[in-house]
A and B are shown apart, each in its own frame.
Chain A
């Protein structure tokens, strides 16, 4: 039997594949730069180096990482659990206000914490009204650099765990507590055996984001004077001009991050999200807490909200009004404009790219693509300093290899700065879109194919409408990060181009914490505004 064998060369598939791969590769190019740079490191140098600083860096970084993960896990999951399943005073307020912790960059929290508790600081002034100086000195807590860093990082990063866990709870089709009680479990068992496991993928995604942020943090540990990988890289690169050490440290840091990735994918293995078969979703009936439990739940949420948001906000407001001379109206207008420009261009590029790669990975089912796209989100964990220098090296390399001079277009320009942001913040958007994608049943795609849709039509008619509301969410998350971002902006920005973070950093590093208050305050206000916008948006979307 003969039949016409029309070879089907699928142009669309190939194009999607190639573009997705190029995007992923471009985003991980700096990682390769760091790894390649280490191949030539000679052993003796490494031996000398490892005996001295390396152990200390590793210990410090790991200690901070583990402590922060532990605290954010507790704060994030427990607060999400309380506001998702229980009814107590102001629960609807906390549902959203806990997200305001995203508005505070860890380094600003660090400035606040240190300025508040330092000798003759805010706490001192408050106590001075009531107590004698000697007594104050004896009760003034002495925040060590570790405690300061860990508190600053934990209270500004737990929001990742909170928001992801909460949205996972919301997507449960039935009230898990009722189901658990029906099976005869205690509240304790329900929390550990049903609720936490049901949100496991979300918790791990949240924790992996926290972990990457912690390892990449430079502002806070540097402010507290701790030797970690990032401060090590910064010091060796920019103070001692020692590229080799910086490279080795970056390489080791990447190794830790890779471990986080492996752990994450291990836990996510075999986990598939699907819409529940019965499409009827019952509205969760919350359990009304009574008596002491009601007060405790309120106090728990209020304390977190107060410390993570109101505390730094009030401190910055206080300093801004007590030191009004640092205001310059015109400069503030221009910095605001700079920030808007950066946010708009960078977010658009990031969302477009991460959507496209997610789409490609989903419809093409290619292992290679899936591998590289998963690797590409590592940019988030690479410290801004490393990304910046990697970009400089990357374009120098291209110029040398191809005899071009494109470097000047990317270094000290908006284009280069946006490229840096893309590498760094790509994973926020990628993970947001991926989480939504995982929830869209695969038969939706199959149905579309069988109705004659080609892949691009599926992208346009099915995926885009389903995901578009989440693009706004990704946009907001990216915007908040860009407003807060420090090292990339510091290094790659065009000459004389200031953002609030660079202003605040310069002031604080000159020991003018109070003068850093105005730019810090603007960072907090901008981010808060964006967070509130996102909440409004979601409330409308729900209706």
Chain B
């Protein structure tokens, strides 16, 4: 079965010195949401601009709804693609007030019949008090919300969101994220959302594209990206776990010179005797006060629900361990901290 949206072997470039090479990803069904994740400056916005038709491509093909929309020698004008892009920075028309800005795209002819109501959007994104104001009278976060609603109301067959909440206050952000996701799902609006925040990406995206340097390093669902990273780059992006050098000693065992034997199921196959780098996530190790395997705490971080303790295993190896914040007692820095043995990690992610 054909995908609703396809990017096939495309090289994205905004300028000659920066390119994303040979990128392939897709949206399987209409109404699906995918997210694009990557560090700042990797070219995420360029991808959206290219899909929208604001940039051309010289390699690869982009398909939407069984029609080619971009290739080396074929190009559909942006105004004819039916793709809406909500820009990260203020793109409201300065001579129109917020209300006029919202409804300006409404009249677009579209094959898709949806019933997104203006009033509903105004309420969901809390724009009631802004309607009569002009773009220069509102804040950047407010402009972003207005721009988002304008894109939604234009009834696109594909919606592109570029960091839609980057300027919105944290308190409001989560509420708006929920409202947006519900609206997108209810109205089956296929969406690509660009963000550098993986939590936002994981929340919205049924699938995520993760970019690093100049290529797509993994395209998968959020669970797999987090738990089965395709490369060390992917794991590094989240910057949560740590890598330990260990030796493969059997089909389901590794040996570390200090931690001893670590049991689990290998995600990839290795030969006996191979030296690998094992990814240890904060939730992989279990704390036990009774354990004899103790390490010095060199730092700790309070995350609300949890604490993460950073343990010095050796001069170069520091391991994070997650502990529920309601754990019977807290540990302080420089204390020794027990790790439950034998160590069992469900998925052994090694490189």
**CB-based contact A1/B63 at 8 Å:** yes
Pick from A4, A446, A461 the residue with the most CB of B within 10 Å.
Answer: A446
Within 8 A of B (CB), among A276-312: 277-281
The residue on A at minimum CB distance from B95 is: A465
Contact of B52 with A by CB under 8 A: yes
B63 touches A454 (CB 8 A): no
A279, B143: Cβ atoms closer than 8 Å: yes
B231 located at the interface, meaning its Cβ lies under 8 Å from any Cβ of chain A in the complex: no
Interchain residue pairs with CB less than 8 A apart (18): A1-B2, A1-B63, A3-B63, A3-B66, A275-B94, A279-B138, A279-B143, A441-B90, A446-B52, A446-B85, A447-B147, A450-B52, A450-B81, A450-B151, A451-B104, A451-B108, A452-B154, A466-B94
Contact B140 A452 (CB under 8 A): no
Count of interface residues, chain A, beta-carbon cutoff 8 Å: 29
Whether the Cβ atoms of B93 and A275 lie closer than 8 Å is no
Decide yes or no: A449 and B67 within 8 Å by CB, A279-B138, A443-B89 being known contacts. no
CB distance from B177 to the nearest CB of A (A): 22
Complex CA–CA separation, A446 to B87 (angstroms): 9
**Chain B residues with Cβ under 8 A from A278's Cβ?**
139-140
* A442-480 vs B, Cβ < 8 Å mask (1 yes, 0 no): 011011111111100000011001100000000000000
Minimum CB–CB distance for B218 against chain A, Å: 25
Q: What CA separation (Å) do A451 and B105 show in the bound complex?
A: 5
From the candidates B77, B78, B136, name the one contacting A446 in the complex (CB within 8 A). Answer: B78
| Known contacts A279-B143, A280-B139, A452-B154; A8/B76 CB under 8 A | yes
Known: A450-B81, A450-B83. 11 other contacts (CB 8 A): A8-B80, A279-B137, A280-B137, A281-B136, A450-B52, A450-B154, A451-B104, A451-B150, A452-B82, A453-B79, A454-B79
Contact of A403 with B by CB under 8 A: no
What is the CB-to-nearest-CB distance from A393 to chain B, in angstroms, rounded to a whole number? 42
**Chain B residue at minimum C-beta to C-beta distance from A276:** B90
| Residues of B with C-beta under 8 A to A443 | 87, 89-91
Whether B68 pairs with A5 at a CB distance below 8 angstroms is: yes
Is A449 in contact with B139, judged by CB distance below 8 angstroms?
A: no
B143 closest partner in A (C-beta): A279
Say whether A322 faces chain B, with CB atoms less than 8 Å apart: no
Instruction: Judge whether A277 and B76 touch: CB under 8 Å.
Output: no
In the complex with contacts A8-B80, A443-B87, A446-B87, A3-B94 CB distance below 8 A: no
Report the bound CA distance from A450 to B147 in whole Å.
12
**B18 sits at the interface (CB 8 A):** no
Q: Tell me the bound Cα distance from A75 to B75 in angstroms.
A: 52
Decide if B66 touches A462 in the complex (CB within 8 Å): no
Name the distance in Å between B13's Cβ and chain A's nearest Cβ.
Answer: 16
CB pair B93–A462 under 8 Å, yes or no, is yes
A275 vs B91: C-alpha distance when bound (angstroms): 10
Are A447 and B67 in contact, CB atoms less than 8 angstroms apart? no
Chain A nearest CB from B117 CB (Å) reads 18
* Chain B residues whose CB sits within 8 angstroms of the CB of A449 once the complex forms: 53-54, 77-79
**A8 / chain B contacts, CB cutoff of 8 Å:** 75-77, 80
Does chain A have a CB within 8 A of B72?
no
Report if A52 contacts B (CB, 8 A).
no
CB of B189 within 8 Å of the partner chain = no
